[in-house]
Chains A and B, each alone.
Chain A
Amino acid sequence: MTRPARPVIELRAVSKIYGSGDTVVRAVDGVDLVVERGDYVAVMGASGSGKSTLMNIIGCLDAPTRGRYLLDGVDTRLLDEKRQAIIRNRKIGFIFQSFNLIPRTSAVSNVELPLAYAGIRPGERRRRALAALDQVGLTARANHGPSQLSGGQQQRVAIARAIATNPVLLLADEPTGALDSRSTAEVLDLFDELNVAGRTVVVITHEEEVAAHAKRVLRMRDGKVLSDERVAGPAGRPPRWSAEHAPQARVTS
C-alpha cells in the first residue's frame, strides 16, 4: 500500500475579502482547489475575476481572509513573515509578466539570487545557476545584463531563476503577456518541457493559446471557480507536447 502523494496546493474554502459593509468586495470567494504533483494548471479569467488575488494567495504573497491554504502540506496561516519568505524561497518559483529581473545585474547573478537568499555558498550557487541557465538554453548569455537580452530571453532567465531552487511549484502570472508570438511559443514549449520533467506548473492567464498547453483549465469569474476542465491526467503529457517539437532547451532533470 502506498500513501497517496501529498498535493502541492490544497485550498479549502479560501476567500479574500476587501472592505466591509456595503462596499465589501469578495476578490476570491470560497474557492476549493487541489493541485496534484506534476499537474499543469491554467487559471483563466477576465481582469477582476480574482485570478491575480488567487495567485497572490497561492504564492504566499498575500494571506487569505478565510479558509485554509496548505502548500506542500504546510498550513500557511501559521507562518510569520520570516517563514513566509522562506516558503517562497524554497517551495515556489515565480515567473512574472514583466520578467522582473534585477536591473544592471547579469543573467547568472539574477539566477543566483534566490540561491543566495537560501544561504547556499557561492561556488555551489554558481554551479546550480549555470545548470538552470543551461536548462533554458541561455548558457551563452550568462554574463549579459537584462538590457542586453530580448524579452523572450529575459523571460527564460526568469524561468531559470524560478527553477534554480528546485521548488515544488512553478507559479507564472501572465508569463507571455509581454512577449511576441515567437517568444511566447518558446516559453510555452519550455513550460511543457519542465512539466514533462515532473514540475508542477500553475499559470495565470487570459490567453486561450496559453491555456491550450495546460492539462487542466480553471475558469474564474467574480472570485468563484466557474469551470474546471481536465484535458489530460496529472501524470501524463501536456496536450501540445511532442518530442520533435522540443525547444533548444535540454531538459535533464
Chain B
Amino acid sequence: MNLRESARFAVRGVMANKLRSLLTMSGILIGVAAVIILIAAGTGASASVQKSVSSLGSNTLTITSTTTGAGSRGGGARGGAGGLGALGGAARAGGGGFGGAGGAGGAASSSTVNNGTLVQQPQLTLDDAQALVDETQAPDVASVAPVVTAPSVTATYEGASHTVGTFTGSTPSYLTNDNDSLQAGVPISDSDYTARKRICLVGTTVAVDLIGGDGSAILGQTVQFNGIAYQVVGILTAKGSSGPQDQDDRVVAPLTAVQDTLTGYGTISSISVKAASSTEVTAAQDEVTSILNQRHHVTAANEDFSIFNPTSILSALGTITGVFTILLGGVAGISLLVGGIGVMNIMLVTVTERTREIGIRKAIGAQKSDIVGQFLMEAVMLSVFGGLIGVVIGVLVGQLQFGTFQLVVAPYSVVLAFGVSVAIGLFFGIYPANRAASLRPIDALRYE
C-alpha cells in the first residue's frame, strides 16, 4: 500500500459525506483566511506608518531646543558672535535678556541658573549649525541646514490672502535634507543665499490659494508676506498631508532674507542635519550630540536640545506595529486551532461510524499502518483543502483598500498559515487514526 492508495481511500472518505467535509473544512478555511487577513492588516498599518514617517525626511536629524520660552527673537547682537563660552553662557542667562551676559555667565553654573522661573531661551544658533559642518568631529554628517520659522505669516497676492502654515528660512541644502523637490521653477542657490535675495519657493496649497487653478501661474509673481515682497521662483512638489497637517501649506525662503525681514537675527528654530547614508544616521546623531554638548557645556543628563531621529521613531513604531501584528495573528491563530479541533472531532465521528469498515479492511489484510495512513490522509486532506481555499480568500481580501489604508499580504503569513493548517491536520488526525488502527478486527466486525 503506497501513499497514492491511501490518498484514494481518503478522497473517497472525504467525498462520502460532502456537507460534513465542507463544514469541517470551513473551520480551517476561516482560520487560515483570518491569519492571512489580520497579518495583512498589521503589515499594512506598519507600511503606512513607515510611509508617513519617511516623508519627514530620510537620513535626516532635526535638532530643536528643548527649552522654549519667550523672546525667541533676540537682538541683533548674535550676528557674528564668536566664542563658545559666549554662546553657551548667553543661552543660559535666563529671564529673556541675553547677549551682554555672554562670556561672563560661565558655563559651569549656567545650566542650573534659571531663577526658579523655568523659563529659558531657545539656544540654537547659526554658529551651532556651522560647527556641525566638521569633517573630523562629524564625519558622518553630509549636510547641515539651519532653519528659522517665521510665525503667523500672511501672504497676499492681488487681493487674495492666505495664512501660511509654515514659513521656513533656510540654506540651499534644506531641500535635500527635507526630501523636497520642485515641480516647477528653480531652487534657491548659494548666491541667492549670500545675496539675501527675497525670493521663495511655495507649496502647492499656498500657490493654489493665492492664484487659483493648479497654482502654477504663481511662478515668477511677487507675493507679499506680512507686507514684504518676495518673488516666487519655484513650486515645491506636493507631499500630501501627514495626519491633520497639510505638508504643502508652506513657503521656503533663504534664511538670510527671512532674518532680514521677518524673524530678526536671534536664535534659530532648528537645525536639519543629513547623514551621509541611512546606516550612519545613528553615528551622525552621536557626533552632533557630542559637538553640541561641548558647545553648550552640558552633558547627557541636562541636554538643552533634542534630536529628532525619524529612523529611531520608525524603529519604535516598527516595534509597536510588529507587536500589533503578532497580536492579530495570534487571535487568528486561535481560530485556526478551533478549526483543527473541528477536524479532530469529525475524524473521531468518522472512525466510529466506519468501525465496521475498519474491521473488514483489517480482516482482509490491512495493516495498522494502512489504516493509520488512510485516516490521517483524510484528516490532512480536509485541512489542506480548507487551507488552500483559505489562502485564496485571504489573499483576495488582502488586496482590499479601506480609504488610505491598504492591506498588505505578507508572503510569510501565507506560508505560515498554510503550513500550520497542514500541521493541524496531522496533529489532530493522529489520535483518531491511531484509534481506528488499534481496533481489534473481531470487535470491529461485530460492531453495528
Contact = CB atoms under 8 A, between A and B. Distances in A.
B12 A105 contact: yes
Interface in B345-384: 356-357, 359-368, 370
13 contacts: A61-B363, A61-B442, A85-B366, A88-B362, A88-B363, A89-B364, A89-B365, A101-B360, A114-B364, A116-B5, A117-B1, A117-B365, A161-B364
B441 interface: yes
B441 A82 contact: no
Contact of A117 (B356, B357, B364): B364
B442 A62 contact: yes
B108 interface: no
B300 interface: no
B368 A114 contact: no
A65 interface: no
A81 B368 contact: yes
Contacts of A165: 365
A245 B448 CA distance: 37
B19 interface: no
Contacts of A116: 1, 5
Give the top 5 A-B pairs by smallest Cβ distance, nearest first: A89-B365, A117-B365, A114-B364, A100-B360, A85-B367
A19 interface: no
Contact of A102 (B1, B360, B442): B360
Given A94-B363, A117-B364, A56 B357 contact: no
Given A89-B365, A102-B357, 13 more contacts: A61-B441, A61-B442, A61-B445, A85-B368, A86-B365, A89-B364, A90-B365, A94-B363, A100-B356, A104-B16, A105-B12, A114-B365, A117-B370
Interface of B: 1, 5, 12, 16, 356-357, 359-368, 370, 441-442, 445
Given A100-B356, A104-B12, A117-B1, A88 B442 contact: no
A90 B367 CA distance: 13
A246 interface: no
A182 B335 CA distance: 58
B367 A100 contact: no
Nearest to B356: A100
A89 B442 CA distance: 15
Contacts of A81: 368
B332 to A, nearest CB: 36
B362 to A, nearest CB: 7
Contacts, number: 58
A241 interface: no
Query: Which of A59, A86, A89 has most B Cβ within 10 Å?
Result: A89
A50 B360 CA distance: 22
Contacts of B366: 85, 117
A165 B364 CA distance: 10
Query: Which of A104, A116, A161 has most B Cβ within 10 Å?
Result: A116
Contacts of A89: 364-365
Contacts of A103: 16, 357
A88 B368 contact: no
Contacts of A100: 356, 359-360, 363, 445
A85 B372 CA distance: 14
Contacts of B442: 56, 61-62
A119 interface: yes
Contacts of B1: 116-117, 119
Contacts of A101: 360
A82 B360 CA distance: 16
A119 B367 CA distance: 11
Looking at chain B's contact residues, the main secondary structure is: helix
Nearest to B448: A98
Interface residues of A, number: 27
Contacts of A105: 12
A82 B370 CA distance: 11
A33 interface: no
A142 interface: no
Contacts of B364: 88-89, 94, 113-114, 117, 161
A59 B357 contact: no
Query: Which of A56, A88, A117, A165 has most B Cβ within 10 Å?
Result: A117
A74 interface: no
Query: Which of B1, B360, B442 has most A Cβ within 10 Å?
Result: B360
A118 interface: yes
Query: Which of B5, B359, B365, B367 has most A Cβ within 10 Å?
Result: B365
Interface in A128-177: 161, 165
A42 B26 CA distance: 54
Contacts of B360: 100-102
Contacts of A119: 1
Nearest to A62: B442
A252 B246 CA distance: 94
Nearest to B365: A89
A135 B203 CA distance: 94
B445 A85 contact: no
Interface string A43-54: 000000000000
A213 B29 CA distance: 59
A101 B357 CA distance: 8
A114 B357 CA distance: 13
Query: Which of A56, A104, A118, A161 has most B Cβ within 10 Å?
Result: A104
B145 to A, nearest CB: 78
Nearest to A81: B368
B358 to A, nearest CB: 10
B88 to A, nearest CB: 89
Query: Which of B12, B363, B364 has most A Cβ within 10 Å?
Result: B364
Given A62-B442, A100-B360, A104-B16, A82 B365 contact: no
A28 to B, nearest CB: 14
A186 to B, nearest CB: 22
Contacts of B441: 61
B365 A85 contact: yes
Nearest to B364: A114
Interface string A65-100: 000000000000000011001101110001010001
A167 to B, nearest CB: 10
Contacts of A118: 365
A165 B365 CA distance: 10
Contacts of B5: 116
B425 to A, nearest CB: 23
Contacts of A86: 365, 367
Contacts of A56: 442
